[in-house]
Amino acid sequence: MSRTDFIMSQGATCRNWTWSWSFIDDIGKRVIFGAWEDLVSEDGTRALILSNEWKENEEGEIKLGYVQAREHLDKIMLEGYQLYTFSQKRSKVSDEKKKAKIKSFVPDLQLKYLVHEDGCWYATNEEEYDYTPEVKEEHYEGDKKVRLSTYYERNSKARKECLEHYGYSCKACGFNFEDIYGEIGKNFIHVHHVNPVATIGKRYKIDPIKHLIPLCANCHAMIHIGSDVLTVDELKKKLRKQKNKR
């Protein structure tokens, strides 16, 4: 099986099969990178999947693969896509600006977590991940602040720890999807990021228990209505007030 056939069998695609370094599965909300074996850390906990040093070719032109890879990484950082990698070997190159040639690959996807440090992006194991992505400053402007907050709400590891602590009932109204819908509603709930997005710094470290809380879809929508995001307590007061009117 060729690498292209393997990626396509996973439901992923790219703009060009010749120069692409990364691939995307929009239905499964997955981003896939090939991880070079020679760029894995000595302890095997993380692999370099993208570097600013790979941005330009020998003529000083921006590589299209780099541009696409950055767009795919933003899908992970800001839209809740999951990162997956597969191992691959490359033929030795003397210059990072030259195109790397794939010698072989392993057709097996592994779930990883994204870490960004000093212009380098790494795929790391869950045990090594600490919720501290480094994000470009422009992601703090306008509606992109909301997209950054969404990253924390959709992060699978943070979400898991939040729900293990709080359970799957809405902390504003008490609604539980499984109680109402049965089996299809089991383990379904939104997770809300409680900190105002304006307070999120470039190296913000999230605490899944303090900063995330489960909300049903309706309460989550109501909290985000208007220019100012309500707190959970403010929404609960509105619910009580409305209930007393009945």
**pLDDT tens per residue, range 184-197:** 999 899 888 887 65
Asked if residue 163 and residue 190 are part of one domain, the reply reads yes
Q: Based on the domain organization, do 84 and 110 belong to the same domain?
A: yes
Q: Look up residue 172 and give its two tokens.
A: 């504003």
Q: Which of 14-28, 144-158, 228-242 has the lowest mean pLDDT?
A: 144-158
Please tell me the predicted confidence (pLDDT) of residue 163.
92
Percent of the chain with pLDDT over 90: 37
**How many folded domains does the chain comprise?**
2
Residue 86 identity: F
In this prediction, residue 138 carries a pLDDT of: 38
For residue 213, give the nearest of 230, 201, 237, 199 by alpha carbon: 230
Q: What is the rounded average pLDDT of the residues 210-216?
A: 91
User: Who has greater pLDDT, 41 or 213?
Assistant: 213
Higher pLDDT, 3 or 152: 3
The predicted pLDDT at position 116 comes to 77
Q: Among 68, 93, 128, where does a domain finish?
A: 128
224 plus 182 within the same structural domain = yes
Average pLDDT score over residue span 75-88 = 84
Same domain, 26 and 100: yes
Tell me: pLDDT of 95 over 60: no
- 116 and 12 in one domain? yes
The C-alpha atoms of residue 128 and residue 125 are separated, in whole angstroms, by 5
Provide the domain limits for residue 157: 137-245
Q: Which of 60, 95, 128 is the last residue of a domain?
A: 128
Which of 61, 95, 128 lies at the terminal end of a domain, its last residue?
128
Q: In the chain, pLDDT over 70 holds for what percent of residues?
A: 80
The pLDDT value recorded for residue 236 is 94
Residues 96 and 41 in one domain: yes
Q: 206 and 233: one domain? A: yes
Q: What is the pLDDT of residue 17?
A: 92
Task: Say whether both 238 and 154 belong to one domain.
Answer: yes
158 and 209 both lie in a single domain? yes
Q: Same domain for 7 and 123?
A: yes
Same domain, yes or no, for 170 and 231?
A: yes
- Helix boundaries (H) for the chain: 3-9, 64-79, 144-154, 156-166, 177-181, 208-211, 217-223, 232-245
The pLDDT value recorded for residue 42 is 77
pTM: 0.59
Give residues with Cβ within 8 angstroms of 168, minimum separation 6: 176, 177, 178, 186, 187, 188, 189, 214
Task: Say yes or no: 16 and 109 in one domain.
Answer: yes
Report whether pLDDT(129) > 80.
Answer: no
- Would you state the structure tokens that stand for residue 73, as one six-digit string? 């990484």
